[in-house]
Amino acid sequence: MNANVLANAFGPREGTALRVKQVALVALGIVALAVAAKIKVPMWPVPITMGTFAVLTIGTAYGARLGLITMLGYLLVGALGFDVFAGSSAEKFGLTYMMGGTGGYLVGYLMATILLGALAARGWDRSVGKLALALVLANVLIYVPGLLWLGQLYGWDKPILEWGLTPFLLGDAIKLALAALLIPGLWKLLGDART
C-alpha cells in the first residue's frame, strides 16, 4: 500500500498488523460497493445509484493496488452469483448479468480505480480541484468501455449514448462533486487530529 494514500494514513504500516488491516479494508470495501450499488436516489431522468461513488472513493482512498484488489474481490463475489450489482435481479445474477449491458462499465471500474489510486499516490487527493479533475478522468474511463460494450452488444445503429451516457451525466456530476469534497476533507481531518 502506498504511503501517500488515505488508507495508509492511519493504523499499522508494517508486518502482520498491516496485512490484517488490508484484509479488513478489502472486506469493508466489497461490502461498501455492494451496499452502495443498491442505494438509489430519486432523480430525473434516471435515479442516481451510489455504486460509482463507492468505486471512485475506494479507488482514491485505497490506492491503485489495494483498490484494484478490492474491485476484483467485488467482481468475484458478483460472478459467484451474489446480488451485489445495481441492476441485478432474481432472474439474472453472476456472469450472466456481468456479460450484459453492464459488462463494459465493470471493466471501467477497474481502470478508474487504477488511475485514481495512482493519482492519489501523487497527492491529487489532497486538493479539491486536482481530485475533481482526476474524478472526471476516471469517469471517462468508466464510460468508454461501457459505451463500447453497449455498442458491440446491441449494435451501433441503436441510441447508445441515450442509453448509456446522457441520462447519467447529472447524477455523475453530483457524485463527483461529493467525492471531490469528501477525500480532501478526510485528509484535513486526519491532519487536524494529529496536531
- pTM passes above 0.85: yes
Whether 25 contacts 7, CB under 8 Å = yes
How confident is the model over 26-53, as pLDDT tens digits?
999 999 999 999 999 888 778 888 999 9
45 cis-preceded (ω within 30 degrees of 0) = yes
pLDDT at 141: 97
| Alpha carbons 152 and 46: distance in angstroms, whole number | 23
Whether 31 contacts 150, CB under 8 Å = no
Alpha-carbon distance values, 111 to 11, 14, 44, 143, 191 (Å) = 27, 27, 28, 10, 29
pLDDT at 89: 60
| Alpha carbons 99 and 67: distance in angstroms, whole number | 22
Nearest Cα to Cα of residue 24 among 11, 39, 34 = 11
Whether 94 contacts 78, CB under 8 Å = yes
Nearest Cα to Cα of residue 142 among 122, 170, 171, 172 = 172
Whether 148 contacts 130, CB under 8 Å = no
Whether 119 contacts 179, CB under 8 Å = no
- DSSP element (H, E) containing 121: helix 103-121
- Grid coordinates representing 159 are 441510441
CATH hierarchy code of domain 6-193: 1.10.1760.20
Each of the 195 residues of the chain gets a pLDDT tens digit; together they read: 446 899 998 889 899 999 999 999 999 999 999 999 999 988 877 888 899 999 999 999 999 999 999 999 999 999 998 989 987 665 677 888 899 999 999 999 999 999 999 999 999 999 999 999 999 999 999 999 999 999 999 999 999 999 999 999 999 999 999 999 999 999 988 875 544
